[in-house]
Structure 1
Amino acid sequence: MSIKLNDRYKEHLMEIGSDIIEIDRIKQAQEKQAKFVDRVLTPAELDLYKELKGHRKYEFLAGRFAAKEAFAKAYGTGISGKLSMLDIEILPGEYGKPVVSSPYTGEQKVTISHSNDLAIAVVILN
C-alpha cells in the first residue's frame, strides 16, 4: 500500500541524520595520518581547530566529523562522490550555536555534543 501526501504537507517533511563516534578513534586517525584533518575540516573550521589544545582539539574534530556524517545521512547521499566532508561547513553562530553551510538550500539544523569519550551529532533538514 502506498500513501500519497497532500502537497500542503510536503513542506513539513524533514530528513534526520545522526552519528556518534569515539573521540579516541578520531585521535588515532589524526595521529596516523596528518592530512586526515584536512579532509574533514574546511579552512575556516581548521582555523578554529588550530586554536584548541589537548583533548579539546580532538573533541572538536570528532564533533565536526559526526555532524558531517549526520548531515550526509539526512541529505540522503552519505559521504560520497556527490558530497564530501569539505562541502559541509559548521561554524559557531550567535552564542556559539553551530550553524551549517552546505549545498542544501532548505532549513538546516545541527546539534553537537561530547562526553569524555564520545561525540554525537544530529542534523535536521527541512
Structure 2
Amino acid sequence: MIVGVGVDFLEIERVSERLAERVLGEDEKNIFRSRRNKKEFVAGRFALKEAFFKALGTGLNGYRFTDVEFLESGGKPVVKIHRDFGEFNFVHVSLSHDRFVVAVVVLEKRKGGIIVEGDEKVLRENFCVLGKSAEGWEIDTLIPPFSLKKRLSELHCQLVRYGNILLSECEIDGRG
C-alpha cells in the first residue's frame, strides 16, 4: 500500500554549499566532502528531503532535515532514518539533475519485509509471523522501526532488517 508520494523541483544555482551544514546528516557530509560538484549534491539532498517530508504529509513540522539521510549503495539511493516517522517499511527514491534537480520519494507499507531474530513462540505471541528465512523470522507489524526495536529488546529479540530502510545505531536525542 502506498502511504505517500512526494516530489520536489529545484534550480541548482539557487542553492549555496553552506546549506550542507543545516541539511546534511553526518554520513551525507562524508559523501559531500568527496564530491566535485558540491552544489549539485546539496541541491539533490535538499530536494530529496523536501520530497520525503511531503510524502509523509507533514512537511518539516516537528522534524529536522537531519532526521533522514539519503546515502548511496552501488549508485542507488538508500534511505537511513534516525527516528520513527510512521507506518511504512519501504522507501523508493528517484533523483535526477541537470540544471534543475527533481526528486521523487514514495513511502510504501508492504506486508512483511521486517526480519527479526528471537524465540518463535514469543514472536508468534506478539506479532504476525509470516515465516522463517536464512536471515530470521519475517513478521508484519505497523510498529515503526525504533519503537519495534525497543519492543523486541523487551522480549529479548532483535531487529535484523526493516524493509529497505537503514536505521541509525542510536536514536537522535532519544526520540527514536
Coarse TM-score class (shorter-chain normalised): 0.7 to 0.9
1:84 deviates by: 1.1
Q: Select 2:31's aligned residue among 25, 31, 48.
A: 48
Q: Select 2:80's aligned residue among 101, 108, 122.
A: 101
Moved over 3 A (4+): none
More helix by share: 1
1:14 deviates by: 3.0
Q: Select 2:21's aligned residue among 14, 20, 38.
A: 38
Identity %: 39
Q: TM-score by structure 1 length?
A: 0.76
Question: Per the alignment, in what secondary structure is the counterpart of residue 14 of structure 1?
Answer: strand
1:13 deviates by: 3.3
Do residues 125 (structure 1) and 114 (structure 2) align?
A: no
Q: Select 2:69's aligned residue among 84, 89, 95.
A: 89
In structure 2, distance between residues paired with 1:106 and 1:76: 16
Report 1 or 2 for greater relative contact order, CA contacts < 8 Å, sequence distance ≥ 6. 1
In structure 2, distance between residues paired with 1:124 and 1:15: 6
Question: Per the alignment, in what secondary structure is the counterpart of residue 45 of structure 2?
Answer: helix
1:99 deviates by: 0.9
1:106 deviates by: 1.9
In structure 2, distance between residues paired with 1:70 and 1:120: 9
Instruction: Please say if residues 2 and 106 of structure 2, whose CA atoms lie closer than 8 Å, have aligned partners that are also in contact.
Output: no
Which structure has the larger Rg over C-alpha atoms? 2
1:96 deviates by: 1.3
The residue that corresponds to 2:130 in the other structure is: none
In structure 2, distance between residues paired with 1:13 and 1:90: 20
1:79 deviates by: 1.6
Do residues 21 (structure 1) and 39 (structure 2) align?
A: no
What's the Cα RMSD here? 1.3
Amino acid at match of 1:24: E
Q: TM-score by structure 2 length?
A: 0.56
Residue-by-residue CA offset, 1:93-113 (whole Å, 9 max, x unaligned) = 2x2100112233521111111
1:37 deviates by: 1.2
Aligned length: 104
